[in-house]
A and B are shown apart, each in its own frame.
Chain A
Amino acid sequence: MRAPQTGRGRARGRWFGVAVLAGSLASLAGVAPVRSVEQWLSPVLGVLDRSITSALPEHSEPLLGELAGPARESWAAWARSVRGSFPVAAAGWDAALVPVVERRRDRHELVIAVPPGALREGSAVTHRGVLVGLVDDVFDDGTRATVTLLGRQDSRPIAAEWRPDEGARAVHFLLTGAEDRSDVELRVQAASSSVPPPAEQLAWTRDVAELGDPLAPNLLIGRFSHTQSELPGGGVWSPDDEVPQLSPLLDPFTLDLVTVEVTPGTELSLREVRTRLYGASQSDDRRRIAAGSRSGVRRGDWVVQDALFVGVVEVVSAFSSVVDTRVPEGLLFDVSPGGEIVAIGEARETWPTGWEPARGDLIAAGHLATGGLVIGTVQGAADEGLVLRHIAPDPMSAVRVVGP
């Protein structure tokens, strides 16, 4: 017979219960360190995993070979579009494609991955020919930089212009930020003419290299719209009462990919880790890879297998990582059998008005390190958005983990 539990034993048991309950709740809340600790026992899986993986039904995805080419083309077309149709770097500089790695809405900043030692303070950051902001600070390790977005109060004034007609004399002005950071606004100051811009008039950066400002000319900065000024007491509206207002052309916080001015010949080098998938540890929307923080894997890295998107790393532990295999957030490409490419998101509200995906269309995504990647094909469209048939990875083939 075992001795009955003592008071100290009961207290220990109670504390153990409290610890288990607290840990479980933290796990349910998705607390990152707890989710990481949960994976510490994953080496136990390795004992049988290879044998089970080799015993799984044979993997066959005949469509993948056909879809890889269009997926690559869709990404290449997008990358060309992001670079812009005219030079977006100042003379003597190159424009390099780099990913956005962090969005700081409260400070109106982006953080981008950059090639070490290739930037200058004030390097222009653009997207499809639109000036997004200027590099403000490079991190100590040289691999990331902070971008101050247009419209922030403390951003430096930018020489800009608009032109009423082809061949007409340009109206020059200075673009500055608004007073209130929480409500960022592009402000037009010191205009060279009182002529109001017509509605929908675009404005762009001006060439002031002679004054020592290296910012490239012709970068789009915004579009004029007109708002009616207040008429105290209720006056009769006239066009003269309208106040021209410059609105940004894009929401910088939706961007995944931008260009930044770099010294010629430099390119962003991306991390890459080769590993394998666990065959006997998976669910409908998660897979496990046999590489973790010890191999350099980080949360948010992409996992790919040849031209196939496998997922995004969600939880990292020392020896293994959990990969979320759902459709990645951000930009997708719908490629029809005829080759038409439409940039969309997964949700219906991101689709062009009146557009619907057709059954069988390819859905692709892309990453700087890999190019275009196949995600799957369209099964249909629900109220929420795309219904996809995912193409599954081959558990016997190696995968690559890539990230900035």
Chain B
Amino acid sequence: MILLLLATVVLGQLHVLGVAWFGEFVPDPIVVLAAIAGLHWQRRRLLGAALVLGWGRSLILLEPAGAHILCAAIALTVVASQREAFDRERGMTLLFAALLAAGCWMGGAWALGATLDLGVSAGPSLLTGALLALPIAIPTRRVVRLARRRA
């Protein structure tokens, strides 16, 4: 969990730096973290992962943590529910899971905005962020296999 929090915060800060230089389409890596957690983490730990991802993101964006925790919980729950449909050994799976997480995060943010009149940041960088799944799919698979063997 601590590693996930640090990864969320550090990658989020680097994303802010990227946006400052290149604009709002710079990929946001949060959706890849959400996809990895949704595909590979034990189900009973998913809520903890949602808490960490949402809280970490809210620290960067200075928005209510509750909004991002709920968005993360929706994204993780949906991705985890599709585990059996995904072939987790294939490289493209992480990309599809990240796109699904991005869609859920954006949908959750839209729903919160529509019902509570809250501005929750969930822009196009989440969709472009899913593309980051392509270069890290193979290393992620190796790390997951290693972790399973150790467990």
Contact = CB atoms under 8 A, between A and B. Distances in A.
Interface in B102-151: 112, 116, 118-119, 121, 151
B1 interface: no
Interface string B34-58: 0000000010100110110011101
B4 interface: no
A28 B118 contact: yes
Interface in B57-88: 58-67, 69-70, 73
Interface of B: 5-6, 9-10, 12-14, 16-17, 20-21, 42, 44, 47-48, 50-51, 54-56, 58-67, 69-70, 73, 112, 116, 118-119, 121, 151
Contacts of A27: 64-67, 69
Contacts of B121: 283
B151 A38 contact: no
Given A20-B51, A27-B66, A281-B62, A44 B6 contact: yes
Contacts of B63: 283, 286
A280 B47 contact: no
A82 B22 CA distance: 47
A48 B10 contact: yes
Contacts of A280: 12-13, 16-17, 60
Contact of A42 (B14, B59, B112): B59
A35 interface: yes
A24 B47 contact: no
7 A-B pairs closest in CB distance: A27-B66, A24-B66, A286-B62, A280-B13, A28-B66, A38-B65, A27-B64
Contacts of B118: 28
Interface class of chain A by DSSP: helix
A282 B16 CA distance: 8
A322 B60 CA distance: 11
User: Among B13, B42, B69, which residue has the most Cβ atoms of chain A within 10 A?
Assistant: B13
A169 interface: no
B12, B55, B64 pick with most chain A CB within 10 angstroms: B64
Contacts of B65: 24, 27, 38
Contacts of B70: 24, 28
